[in-house]
């Protein structure tokens, strides 16, 4: 286990760095409490996971999670579809087998998998879940970025930080990802952990087939249709959303499999064994050699994107630190001289624009709290590094031009809007700005209307407007 400053230093390491005899080759990724690096010793390549410890108070809890994850991986060590634990200690979290990258990276690069490729990996996933079930282990945080490929591009489940071992129903839950939560996790009833994993696996299968999630969160219309067992309307919307990829619509066998995997009653939801025997799953699957040939061609592009993401992340973090220093200097200057402060404000177009929006809508940022949010890595979410006040005013400015603002909440970065078209109400939405743990801001948009297609279009317009305003030179002057 490494302290946070040591982990941050790792993100700047080059191939001369070593750890426990392994040469650090490259950065693989990071999570809320960890950074993962690729290490090499001779011909052996492994993934090395380092945990972040921000303060001594959280150390016992993180160590306990680490021990639980290591214990579960040790129980599942003899299955090819699950990442293997090679070494574990309080000083070095663990080393597992070589990764070729997260499944999510390949989905984003290819836009979607071919149906036979999706079927190949779905069968591997179900076999791994069946093996876990035999040991009474459930993952509880299945998603494409917790699935990796080994050197031969076989699927492996990883990141068992939220997993549990239980013989029977489970009465407690902490963690997981909003986009994959089964309905039973939203209440207080005991649940079957294996069935929770099946529900999440349906999202993974849908993402492989379409490049998108079947739903983005548990508050939107599509999720409510699932809870209401209204599969006809659910697939009617999905067919419209994916008409370009599937002009004839989704096959009956595929829809039947998804319906049975997302059944809101987990007692009716099918098991991993039944998923494996379903007619859609029993269809023709891709050849592993063809997958290897196709995916190897993507490896360089994915590595380049990963390096670019790492550099962008560092750059944005530096920009945030620079911005905070500038803000601190500005606060000191404002305290020294109100006259100088007024002059500085007049010279700053974004601040003038912000004050004008605040005057027009009669609101301030006093007593306004920016709520925190957990990371979800949803494909279509709006994430941005910016000053929350500037971003909130940019959102208000966007809806001033194309909609009608119903209400701006007094204590949150939150507003209700009605999108107008030809003086007719088109779509009601709830928008809230939240903060992630790495100071990135998320714009959460909730659909309060009934037209999901138009809602999706409005979200895309908002995303473009935010980026356009941020790219303008005056907006960049802080």
What distance in Å separates the CA atoms of residue 164 and residue 325, rounded to the nearest whole number?
Answer: 44
- CA–CA gap between residue 467 and residue 369 (Å, rounded): 24
Based on C-alpha coordinates, what's the Rg of the chain? 24
How far is CA 108 from each of CA 237, 298, 309, rounded to the nearest angstrom? 22, 11, 14
The span from the CA of 142 to the CA of 125, in Å, is: 10
Q: Is 347 annotated as a binding residue?
A: no
Residue 60 CB: number of other CB atoms within 10 A?
Answer: 9
- DSSP, collapsed to helix, strand or coil, labels residue 441 as strand
Mutual angle of helices 338-346 and 349-361, in 10-degree steps: 100
DSSP 185: G
Largest CA distance in the chain: 75
Pairs from 83-86 (Cβ < 8 Å, separation ≥ 24): 83/148, 83/156, 83/157, 83/158, 86/46
Give me the helices (H) in 58-137, please. 59-75, 103-110, 115-134
Give every CB contact of residue 192 below 8 A, 6+ residues apart in sequence: 169, 170, 266
Query: Helices (DSSP H) in 337-451: which residue ranges?
Result: 338-346, 349-361, 388-402
DSSP states along 187-200: SSS-B-HHHHHHHH
Neighbour count for residue 133 (Cβ, 10 Å): 18
**Residue 168 gets which letter from DSSP?**
S
How many C-beta neighbours within 10 Å does residue 417 have? Answer: 26
Q: Distance between CA atoms of 145 and 137, rounded to whole angstroms? A: 20
Bridge partners (DSSP) of residue 198 are none
Query: Token pair for residue 318?
Result: 């530096």
DSSP secondary-structure letter at 283? S
Binding-site positions for ATP: 49
Binding-site positions: 49
């Amino acid at each position: 286990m490494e302290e946070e400053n040591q982990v941050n230093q790792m993100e700047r390491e080059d191939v001369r760095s070593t750890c426990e005899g392994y040469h650090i080759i490259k950065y693989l990724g990071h999570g809320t409490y960890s950074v993962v690096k690729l290490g090499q010793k001779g011909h052996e390549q492994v993934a090395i996971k380092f945990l972040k410890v921000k303060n001594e108070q959280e150390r016992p809890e993180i160590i306990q999670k680490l021990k639980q994850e290591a214990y579960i991986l040790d129980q599942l060590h003899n299955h090819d579809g699950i990442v293997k634990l090679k070494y574990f200690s309080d000083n070095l979290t663990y080393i597992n087998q070589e990764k070729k990258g997260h499944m999510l990276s390949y989905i984003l690069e290819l836009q979607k998998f071919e149906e036979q490729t999706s079927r190949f990996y779905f069968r591997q996933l179900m076999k791994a879940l069946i093996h876990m079930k035999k040991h009474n282990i459930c993952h509880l945080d299945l998603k494409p970025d917790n699935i990796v490929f080994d050197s031969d591009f076989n699927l492996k489940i990883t990141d068992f930080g939220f997993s549990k071992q239980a013989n029977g129903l489970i009465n407690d839950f902490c963690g997981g990802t909003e986009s994959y939560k089964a309905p039973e996790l939203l209440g207080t009833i005991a649940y079957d952990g294996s069935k929770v994993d099946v529900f999440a696996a349906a999202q993974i299968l849908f993402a492989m087939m379409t490049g998108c999630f079947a739903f983005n969160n548990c508050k939107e219309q599509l999720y409510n249709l699932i809870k209401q067992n209204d599969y006809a309307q659910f697939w009617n919307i999905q067919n419209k959303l994916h008409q370009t990829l599937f002009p004839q619509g989704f096959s009956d066998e595929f829809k039947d499999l998804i319906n049975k995997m997302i059944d809101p009653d987990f007692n009716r939801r099918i098991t991993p064994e039944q998923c494996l025997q379903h007619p859609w799953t029993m269809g023709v699957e891709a050849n592993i050699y063809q997958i290897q040939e196709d995916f190897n061609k993507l490896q360089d592009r994915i590595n380049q994107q990963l390096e670019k993401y790492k550099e962008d992340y560092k750059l944005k973090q530096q920009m945030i630190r620079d911005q905070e220093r500038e803000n601190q200097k500005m606060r000191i200057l404002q305290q020294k001289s109100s006259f100088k402060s007024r002059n500085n404000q007049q010279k700053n177009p974004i601040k003038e624009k912000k004050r004008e929006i605040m005057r027009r809508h009669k609101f301030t940022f006093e007593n306004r709290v920016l709520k925190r949010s957990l990371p979800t890595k949803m494909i279509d979410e709006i994430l941005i590094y910016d000053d929350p006040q500037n971003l909130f005013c940019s959102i208000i400015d966007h809806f001033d031009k194309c909609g009608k603002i119903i209400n701006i909440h007094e204590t949150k970065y939150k507003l209700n809007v009605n999108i107008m078209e030809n003086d007719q109400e088109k779509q009601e939405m709830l928008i809230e700005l939240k903060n992630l743990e790495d100071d990135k801001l998320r714009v959460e948009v909730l659909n309060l209307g009934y037209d999901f297609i138009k809602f999706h279009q409005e979200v895309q317009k908002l995303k473009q407007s935010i980026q356009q305003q941020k790219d303008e030179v005056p907006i960049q002057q802080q």
